[in-house]
Amino acid sequence: MAGIIDRLKYQFDSAPTLKRLIYINVGVFIAVHMVSVILMLFNIDTMQWLSYIEVPSALHILPYRVWTIFTYMFVHYDLWHILFNMMWLYWFGSIFTQYFSQKHLGVLYVLGGLAGATLYLFSYNVFPYFAGKESMMCGASASIMAIVFATTLRAPNYKINLMFIGSVSLKYIALVTILIDFMSMTSSNAGGHFAHIGGALMGVIFALYWNKGKDILHPINRMMDKFIAMCHRPHIKIRRPHVKKPSTHSYDNKKTPHTHSRPETDSEYLSRKKREAEEIDKILDKVKKSGYTALTTEEKQRLFDAKKN
């Protein structure tokens, strides 16, 4: 058993962010339903404990369950719910990482979920249509919508093949999706559709700033890097070996120059990332026109490095 756990832990640690998000969603889905089955065997209402991981629409409940604005985006009701969401996450996440980094994917997933929860709470507590109604919401849809719309604004003409339809540009898929959400604002899943729109808005904001050369997720990524580095910093005391002082009669005229490299500024970072993205765009265009075999060895290496990062 320990070997299986170690193997799963290794696969999770070595996986890119896209796969980690899918692993987390699937793991939470299995855990939630295992607990639900056990509770049902003892005739315990499963909906009561699920309310502690789903985000409530009632503002008077939220302060006592504030963590639900994070947990809800990893919880799914049934198999079809998680299957459909994970397929969208994998498809659009794979395209997203061709233009942005894996770190951007993880942060945008969370921010899209938070934006979806915010618009969901706003709609239920402002619009008269929802007066006297209370709801609970869960699912990764808002987070995925942020990824879908960020990808669409970055590459609106990127084409994917849909069954029974054929090749379709991302801009048309995004347009149909958002129209369905607008038309479903008063449906039985009204809160979910408002959350979709909130997530989509977050993706649009990120992509619009990116196209202007501004990475609004960069400060969050830097803070996360510092936090992770601090958590993984080994606390090991190093004994310094005793070194004899050189004799006063010996001289060493060789001096090693000390180079001090300054940290990269935000403007330099954004310029570099934009330049790298443009280079990758040119290589991808070449692949679309002439195929992968037409790339030079250097271009193949650049594409490999970008995908790895």
CA distance 115 to 196: 9
- Tens of pLDDT, residues 94-148: 999 999 999 999 999 999 999 999 999 999 999 999 998 999 999 999 999 999 9
pTM over 0.85: no
pLDDT band at 309 (very low <50, low <70, confident <90, very high): low
Q: What is the mean pLDDT of residues 241-260?
A: 46
pLDDT at 302: 79
Distance from C-alpha of 125 to C-alpha of 26, rounded to nearest angstrom: 32
Q: Which of 32-41, 190-199, 202-211 has the lowest mean pLDDT?
A: 32-41
| pLDDT at position 161 | 86
- Domains recognised in the chain with CATH numbers: 2-214 (1.20.1540.10), 265-309 (no CATH)
pLDDT at 289 over 50: yes
Alpha-carbon separation of residue 253 from 231, 256, 273 (angstroms) = 42, 10, 43
Q: Name every residue whose Cβ is closer than 8 Å to that of residue 126 and which is 6 or more positions away in sequence.
A: none
Give the per-residue pLDDT at 248.
Answer: 46
Radius of gyration of the chain (CA): 25
What confidence tens digit (pLDDT) does each residue in 251-265 have? 444 444 444 455 666
